[in-house]
Structure 1
């Protein structure tokens, strides 16, 4: 199994999502793990040049357009090579961190990770699994104001990844000990389901 690990927590020292992601990966039978740390190596925001370049056929792009898409191409190749994505998802102000949103903007590309059909959009990265390691002070996963996991499920499904599991440490401000115990139990369940 090839795993793509994506860390997005700005907290690089005592991050709950990084800890959970470590434990999830340790529970998987991974042949290789590629790590993309969005806090330590921030991604650029999309630009006008990028937006224009993505609509130009690959064999007609200028050198500037190819350069503008190079990072996006590399990120998409990482997903294509992976069997499983393990994504650290801290909830910032009810949603995903800006660093993770930048990654999403760079990988959600028509003709590369999804396409439009007469029946609607179709994801092109099928047959992969994603595990979200979620941490939040008090935004319960699945609640009406949980925009992070619902958004991630939608985006991943949009590009074809519909097998999405969640390990939730979503009540850290209320009872950190019980919250972490429950998250570790969920990781044990993932092991049993694999």
Structure 2
């Protein structure tokens, strides 16, 4: 593991609990791998817009015939995909908002899930094109949902990441953070143990 891509999406940026989780794991990994290269994307600071038809048309237009405006539109997706392709491992900081992923993360997914580049359609269905990459999802939640029918977030992440070939996904949850001091303290203690195991 030499190249790590960190994708954070908390509205609270560095103060967000999911961001704190990713920071803890990166610190541990850096202490054990001196040659580690880390690229970090804070989606909240990037202010990525919703995907537009104009942007999709720019992707589908051959590079040799794109206008300057189309080049600019395609540049964001091209850059984000290149970061994924170059990464050996991806660390995703994932808060839960209204039982789903942050809209900024969905906007990121819309830029990196591109037919012919990160997935393709075959006679037997879609095939992901990003292979041999480990993904760690560090999920922070105010309530407790993991393993219950209300945890639609984890299923979505497994599905959408698998769609582009990222099938080796491991979750670490810190839950119950809004359920009182004791619950939050216990949640962080458990998460720390999990992070220690991941970086061992």
Give the structure 1 partner of residue 21 of structure 2. Answer: 20
Question: 2:58 is matched with which residue?
Answer: 53
Please give the alpha-carbon distance, in whole angstroms, between the structure 2 residues aligned to 1:142 and 1:100: 22
Q: What is the aligned counterpart of 1:150 among 155, 160, 164? A: 155
Greater percentage in helix: 2
Give the CA RMSD over aligned residues.
1.5
- SS of residue paired to 1:182: helix
Tell me which residue corresponds to 2:3.
2
Q: Matches of 2:90 and 2:14 in 1, distance apart? A: 22
Q: Partners in 2 of 1:142 and 1:125 — Cα distance? A: 27
Task: Give the 3-state SS of the residue equivalent to 1:111 in structure 2.
Answer: coil
Q: Secondary structure at the match of 2:157?
A: helix
Q: Distance in 2 between matches of 1:21 and 1:136?
A: 14
When normalised by structure 1's length, the TM-score is 0.93
Deviation larger for 69-78 or 51-60:
51-60
1:119 aligns with 2:124: yes
| Equivalent position SS for 2:94 | strand
Which residue does 1:177 correspond to in 2? Answer: 185
What is the rounded CA distance, in whole Å, between the counterparts of 2:72 and 2:14 in structure 1? 33
User: How many residue pairs are counted as aligned between the two chains?
Assistant: 192
Q: CA deviation at 1:13?
A: 4.5
Give SS of 2:54's match: helix
The answer to whether structure 1 residue 86 and structure 2 residue 87 are counterparts is: no
1:186 corresponding residue in structure 2: 194
Give the ranges of 4+ consecutive aligned residues of structure 1 lying more than 6 Å apart after TM superposition: none
- Residues of 1 paired with 2:139 and 2:156: CA distance? 13
CA distance, structure 1, for counterparts of residue 12 and residue 131 of structure 2:
32
Which residue of structure 1 aligns with residue 165 of structure 2? 160
SS in 1 for 2:166: coil
Note the residue ranges of structure 2 that are not aligned, 5 or more in a row: none
